[in-house]
């Protein structure tokens, strides 16, 4: 399978509840992860854009669910980052509710990817999110970003830690990735495309 050909991609909506979600039947893949783990960079790299998903030097800034429509046929959905300590408990609770509403109500949602940093053991919040996603009936795809920051020979050791900490059953669902080196874009499209049920995967 060749990598997905991206003809166009746009920010379609920013929402905090169902009333703001796009109202159509396009399939969606959602991305969850800690603040500053590289979600925006991941989305930009996968869609071959530079600043479509805005990266922020200030963790915890994304407070909405951002819907990116791709090729007018599917969407990437960026969920608010979690786990940023300097945000108040009330604010963190609000973000949790925003994410929960989406996961509970969204029929368009076909798959969820959890973004983690390959260099570090998953945090308790990562483990909680992974297990939470499973309770909604999804097997999370785990994207281990920043793979360029460690030697390739160290990848398997780090991926093993991630799999064990999260309790991942299928080792193929944990994929090392690098935005700066554009590493494993094709492999991730191969993983994601079947969820989108698209005929076109060129």
pLDDT, tens only, 29-87: 999 999 889 899 999 999 999 889 876 555 445 578 999 999 999 999 999 888 765 55
Q: Which is nearest to 4 in space by CA: 76, 55, 65, 59?
A: 76
Helix axes 124-135, 155-166, angle to 10 degrees: 60
Contact 188, 177 (CB under 8 A): yes
**How does pLDDT run across 86-136, given as a tens digit for each residue?**
556 676 677 788 899 999 989 999 999 999 999 999 999 999 999 999 999
Domains of the chain in start order, with CATH, are 9-196 (3.40.50.300)
């Amino acid at each position: 399978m060749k990598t997905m050909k991206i003809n166009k991609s746009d920010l379609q909506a920013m929402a905090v509840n169902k009333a703001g979600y796009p109202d159509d039947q396009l399939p969606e893949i959602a991305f969850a992860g800690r603040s500053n783990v590289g979600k925006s960079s991941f989305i930009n790299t996968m869609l071959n854009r530079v600043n479509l998903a805005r990266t922020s030097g200030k963790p915890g800034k994304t407070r909405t669910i951002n819907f990116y429509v791709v090729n007018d046929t599917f969407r990437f959905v960026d969920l608010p980052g979690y786990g940023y300590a300097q945000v108040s408990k009330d604010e963190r609770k609000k973000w949790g509710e925003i994410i929960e509403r989406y996961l509970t109500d969204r029929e368009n949602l076909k798959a969820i990817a959890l973004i983690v940093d390959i260099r570090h053991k998953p945090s308790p919040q990562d483990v909680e999110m992974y297990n939470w996603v499973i309770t909604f009936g999804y097997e999370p795809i785990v994207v281990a970003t920043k793979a360029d920051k460690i030697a390739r020979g160290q990848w398997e050791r780090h991926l093993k830690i991630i799999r064990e900490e999260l309790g991942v059953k299928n080792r193929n669902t944990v994929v090392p990735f690098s935005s700066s080196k554009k590493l494993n874009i094709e492999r991730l499209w191969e993983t994601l495309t079947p969820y989108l049920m698209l005929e076109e995967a060129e």
